[in-house]
C-alpha cells in the first residue's frame, strides 16, 4: 500500500503533518495569505497549526487579532484536527459510493 503524501506542520508537539489532499483544495488561500504555493511553503518547512487552520477555512490570516498562548494553541490544534477528520470522512464516503457504483449497487 502506498504512503499518502503529507504536508508538514511546524513547531507543534502533537501534529507533525496533515494529508496533502486535505489542504490542496485551499491552494488559492495559501497564495493569498503567504504569497507562496503550498509546495513552496512545504519546502520551507510547512505551516503552523494556526496558519494551516486559516488556510483550510479559506480565511485571511488575522494579523491584528492573533494571540498565541497555550490555550489558543490547544484550540487551534483541536480545530485543525476536526477539519482533517471532516475531510477524511468525506473522502471515505466518496470512496464508498464509488465502490458501490463499480459493483453495480
According to DSSP H, which parts of 1-105 are helical? 20-23, 27-34, 38-43, 49-56, 70-102
pLDDT by residue for the chain (105 residues), tens digit each? 568 999 999 999 999 999 999 999 999 999 999 999 999 999 999 999 999 999 999 999 998 999 999 999 999 999 999 999 999 999 999 888 877 665 555
Backbone angles phi, psi at 36, to 5 degrees: -145, 155
> Do residues 38 and 30 lie in contact, with contact meaning Cβ atoms separated by under 8 Å?
yes
Entry pTM? 0.88
> Do residues 25 and 91 lie in contact, with contact meaning Cβ atoms separated by under 8 Å?
no
pLDDT at 96: 84
Backbone angles phi, psi at 10, to 5 degrees: -90, 140
Amino acid at each position: 500500500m502506498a504512503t499518502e503524501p503529507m504536508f508538514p506542520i511546524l513547531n507543534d508537539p502533537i501534529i507533525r503533518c496533515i494529508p496533502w489532499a486535505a489542504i490542496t483544495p485551499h491552494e488559492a488561500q495559501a497564495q493569498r495569505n503567504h504569497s507562496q504555493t503550498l509546495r513552496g511553503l512545504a519546502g520551507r518547512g510547512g505551516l503552523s497549526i494556526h496558519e494551516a487552520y486559516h488556510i483550510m477555512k479559506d480565511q485571511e490570516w488575522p494579523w491584528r487579532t492573533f494571540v498565541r498562548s497555550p490555550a489558543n494553541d490547544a484550540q487551534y490544534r483541536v480545530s485543525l484536527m476536526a477539519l482533517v477528520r471532516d475531510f477524511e470522512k468525506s473522502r471515505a464516503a466518496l470512496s464508498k459510493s464509488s465502490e458501490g457504483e463499480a459493483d453495480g449497487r
